[in-house]
Amino acid sequence: MGGTPPRSPLAPASFPDLPVIAGVEFATAEAGVKYSNRKDVMLARLAPGTSVAGVFTRSATRSAPVLDCQDKIGRDSRNAAAIIVNSGNSNAFTGRNGRESVSRITAATAEALGIDESRVFSSSTGVIGEPLPHDRITAKLSELAGNLQAGGIEEAAGAIMTTDTYPKGAGAEVTIDGQRVKIAGIAKGSGMIAPDMATMLVYIFTDAAIERDVLQSMVSANADLTFNCITVDSDTSTSDTLLCAATGASGIRVTEANTNFIDALRGVMLDLAHQVVRDGEGATKFVQIHVTGAQSDADARTHALSIANSPLVKTAIAGEDPNWGRIVMAIGKSGAAADRDLLSIWFGDVLVADRGWRAEGYREEDGAAHMTGTDIDIRVDLGLGGGTATVWTCDLTHGYISINADYRS
């Protein structure tokens, strides 16, 4: 941790050119929470009138900052707000001290910005179970408050990284009633990634004006189709947090009827979710698993996640082995309905198994050819009904073992 692992081979070429969101300013600082010589704290100030919605880990051992955010998230949104995030220490499983650290950080942020503490949302990511040296963060607040600027989102994306090999950003612009609204988001996460959710922090900003409850339902519904459909290693973090802030600075009101906005927001969320998978620890392949013909969407999702989380499937993909027997195994163990003799499997466009038996004319070299790419598509049809699901994962490689067998020591 804190070293510089090589950039993921699946990373995008560069950080995208994101729209600047009116009503949001960013600042970053080197607080030395754990890392040296890098930015490890980011502050975002949100203009008065900003709505904030959130989705959080369902872990029973969630961290102190997550509990504090959950407590604050439903409150009204007339006043200015802030988001403060540190990397290096997750302030999770830190008992009463953890709550104390959150309180100190949010109080100091509120004071530095002259806003209400109930409007300061904090996140922490990094090692679990170590006391958070919150004084190092609070000592930086006046510097942070003095450096706030509208254009700092890329630096913010860098400051929240832990084992990430690249900063993650995505944006969109949507036309509503002839006027443009903008969306820009950043994320971090590369290990401990699984639905509900991951060691994943996501912050999305828009200048649309959206009622808090409306924003919350948009974000929750989109999360089920994006961040809750990715898995790196089936391990769920205690700290997962997605916050979405709508500043309203564009003056353009957005409601549930603006499906183009909802679609664009989902596009930004999906882009960020895919970037997290593409930075999966040790990943060399980006894998899409699409299941059709299940008895229900829920069954399709159970099968898709069983495939995506199977170590034997993931190592076969790492080895570029079109080992469809392991797909059959993963479906069989998932617990959801399946009939062996109705099951069909494709690798890319190659039909490998046709209703319970190796497809006539299937040649292993055709399956193998698809596996040599970096983007792998696995499709399964269960032949039982209309249920579908898509999930995304990466392969399981020596790189994952190397990163995680020495993460902390």
Question: Catalytic site residues?
Answer: 199
Instruction: Evaluate whether 113 touches 145 at the Cβ level (below 8 Å).
Output: yes
Q: Give dist(CA 74, CA 174) in Å, integer.
A: 26
Query: 39 vs 285, which CB is nearer to a copy of itself?
Result: 285
Structure tokens at 138: 């609070």
How many other CB atoms sit within 10 Å of the CB of residue 361?
A: 8
281 in a labelled binding site: yes
Q: Which stretch binds a copy of itself (CB under 8 A): 7-15, 136-144, 221-229, 397-405?
A: 397-405
Q: Cβ 222 to a copy of itself, closest distance in Å?
A: 22
Would you call 159 exposed, middle or buried from its count of C-beta atoms within 10 A (0-12, 13-18, 19+)? buried
Q: Does the protein bind a copy of itself through residue 342 (CB under 8 A)?
A: no
User: Which residue is it, tokens 């090589």?
Assistant: 6
Q: Does the protein bind a copy of itself through residue 358 (CB under 8 A)?
A: yes
Q: Which stretch binds a copy of itself (CB under 8 A): 166-174, 179-187, 270-278, 304-312?
A: 304-312
Q: Cβ 279 to a copy of itself, closest distance in Å?
A: 16
Q: Give dist(CA 305, CA 291) in Å, integer.
A: 10
Residues from 30 through 59 that contact a copy of itself (CB under 8 A): 57, 59
Instruction: Evaluate whether 138 touches 103 at the Cβ level (below 8 Å).
Output: no
Q: Does the protein bind a copy of itself through residue 279 (CB under 8 A)?
A: no
Q: Does the protein bind a copy of itself through residue 365 (CB under 8 A)?
A: no
Q: Does the protein bind a copy of itself through residue 236 (CB under 8 A)?
A: yes
Alpha carbon of 43 to those of 56, 190, 218: distances in Å?
19, 22, 25
Query: 247 vs 334, which CB is nearer to a copy of itself?
Result: 334
Query: 261 vs 324, which CB is nearer to a copy of itself?
Result: 324
372 in a labelled binding site: no
Rounded to a whole number, what is the largest CA-CA distance in the chain? 71
Q: How many CA atoms lie within 13 A of 264 on its CB side?
A: 22
Sheet with 387-394: list strands edge to edge: 230-231, 387-394, 286-294, 375-381, 344-347, 350-353
Q: Does the protein bind a copy of itself through residue 409 (CB under 8 A)?
A: yes
Query: 15 vs 93, which CB is nearer to a copy of itself?
Result: 93
Please select the residue that binds a copy of itself; options are 323, 344, 388, 393, rule is CB under 8 A.
323
Instruction: Evaluate whether 112 touches 141 at the Cβ level (below 8 Å).
Output: yes
Q: Which residues pair with 231 in a beta bridge?
A: 393
404 in a labelled binding site: yes
Please select the residue that binds a copy of itself; options are 275, 309, 344, 388, rule is CB under 8 A.
309
Q: Does the protein bind a copy of itself through residue 343 (CB under 8 A)?
A: yes
Structure tokens at 47: 């203009």
Residues from 77 through 96 that contact a copy of itself (CB under 8 A): 90, 92-96
Q: In 335-356, which positions are buried (b, 16+ CB within 10 angstroms) versus exposed (e)? A: ebebeeeebbbbbbebbbbbee
Q: Does the protein bind a copy of itself through residue 289 (CB under 8 A)?
A: no
Please select the residue that binds a copy of itself; options are 9, 74, 251, 332, rule is CB under 8 A.
332
Q: Which stretch binds a copy of itself (CB under 8 A): 79-87, 178-186, 207-215, 307-315?
A: 307-315
Q: Cβ 401 to a copy of itself, closest distance in Å?
A: 5
Please select the residue that binds a copy of itself; options are 7, 78, 363, 408, rule is CB under 8 A.
408
Structure tokens at 143: 């510097």
Residues from 108 through 147 that contact a copy of itself (CB under 8 A): 127-131
Q: Cβ 91 to a copy of itself, closest distance in Å?
A: 11
How many other CB atoms sit within 10 Å of the CB of residue 408?
A: 11
Residues from 144 through 203 that contact a copy of itself (CB under 8 A): 191-192, 194, 196
Q: Does the protein bind a copy of itself through residue 321 (CB under 8 A)?
A: yes
Residue from 365, 273, 376 nearest 318 by CA: 376
Structure tokens at 3: 């070293």
Tell me, rounded to whole angstroms, the distance of Cα 160 from its chain centroid: 13
Q: Which parts are annotated binding residues?
A: 162, 188, 199, 281, 404, 409
Q: Residues at the annotated binding site for substrate?
A: 162, 188, 199, 281, 404, 409
